[in-house]
Amino acid sequence: MNTGKGNSTEIFENMPVARAVRTMAVPTVISQLIVLIYNMADTFFIGRTDNPCMVAGASLILPVFNITLSLAGLAGIGGGALVSRLLGENRPEEAGKVYSFSVYLGVLAASLFSLGTLLFMRPLMTLLGAGPDTYLFASRYAFFVIVCGGVPTVLSNTFATLLRSVGESKKAGFGITMGGLINIGLDPLFMFVLFPKGMEIMGAGAATCLSNCIACGYFILVLHRMNAAGGSVLRLRAPLCLPEKRSLLSIFAVGVPSSVTTLLFDLDYVVIDRLMSGYNDVALAAIGIVLKAERLPLNVGVGICQGMMPIIAYNYSAKNYRRLNETKRYSLKLGLACAAVSIVLYQLFAGQIMRFFIGDAQTVALGTGFLRARVLATPLMFLSFFHVYLFNGFGKGGYALFLGMMRWLVFNIPMLFFLNWLVGMYGIVWSQVTADVLTVALSLFVYGRYAKRTFQVNL
């Protein structure tokens, strides 16, 4: 029987580390950037209306949309990290059961979240800071992107993560990239042709929903063809064909911390929006654009981490600590180099970036200062996510959860309130750099102690 390890063995065991990381990371980074670009495309095209309230309404939904991605993390990262470790232990049958359970888990979680959003739309929008001028825009956008598009969004990202777990990063990256490009192409058609004036935000939401449905269909087709060719561990079993109890516990041990960490990241964005809405709609629109623009270098870093994690997980289970260490160091250097380049570019072109999204002079002026300050946190944010992904790869979700909760609940969110009280809206902007200095120091300390105890070396 084909164990399904062929492609993963070459990438995870034999290929030179630098090439293996690039093979896994480059398609992932590209797909991460395309996902960001299509999210930013909505903001760009909505910004063509020169309506700050419409821009603010779309920006308010970003944290809610990211919650759907956290559900994909629950199923995809929890299951994907385990699939890689099981292949490292040469247990393909159990890996296949983990894959099936992860898919069903993603469908169930997304369905419940979409239904909850529909039933509690008004209190949710109010909680996010939607005022009388922004509620209608925010709720229309949420209906298409979350209520209608939640399940295909979660499934697409879950499938992509599971494909990467067996070394199929190119297929995963292509599917996410294709969905993003289709979204970018559909945005102007839906917004300015199919939907009437004043309802452009509904057109943007409908385009996003349809593109995620198409991407989900692509992944289903790819997985069907892999199974038809024979030997793939990614074959859907019956819902009651459950993995072992310890595998189930392992899925949730990594998936829940991953999901909670993403939720806390989004909670940070909710707090930022909420605090900034206390000033005016222009400030809210400016920070909404900045929070999307700053995700470009952040998504590059996340893509590197997602590409690295299956290699880390496989070699951790195979006890090939030398290769694990080489993978970690190369990925770290690559991520920090990208962060450094992003700081230089954003400092030089912050104004042009803001004007790309909106022509309102006041919003551009405010957002330019916001962006130049926020981007300074990029290398710190990468280091924070990097250590969380390492622990996810090891299957040590408790460590990842601890670092995530310390970062958001102890450092970042309290710092937002404190600096807002101390210096006003610019305190909100500078809170990320201040808090992440503490986060990185803690992450390095925790990982150093774990590595020394586990590997008997300083990894």
What is the per-residue pLDDT across 139-175, written as a single tens digit (0 to 9) for each? 888 898 899 988 999 999 999 989 988 888 889 889 9
Q: Average pLDDT of 194-221?
A: 88
Instruction: Give me the domain span that covers residue 25.
Output: 6-455
Residue with tokens 């710190």: 380
* Amino acid in the structure at residue 16: P
Structure tokens at 283: 């400030």
Domain total in the chain: 1
Side-chain-side CA neighbours of residue 147 (13 Å): 18
- SS3 state of residue 360: coil
Positive or negative torsion for Cα 358, 362, 364, 370: negative
Q: Is residue 347 part of a domain?
A: yes
pTM of the model: 0.81
Q: Is residue 1 part of a domain?
A: no
Q: Is residue 442 part of a domain?
A: yes
Mind listing the pLDDT tens digit for each residue in 277-333?
788 778 888 888 888 788 888 889 988 998 899 999 999 988 888 999 999 999 999
Determine the pLDDT at residue 411: 93
pLDDT interval class at 7 (50, 70, 90):
low
Q: Average pLDDT of 415-425?
A: 90
Contact 367, 346 (CB under 8 A): no
Higher pLDDT, 3 or 423: 423
| Helix (H), strand (E) at residue 243 | none
Q: Is residue 64 part of a domain?
A: yes
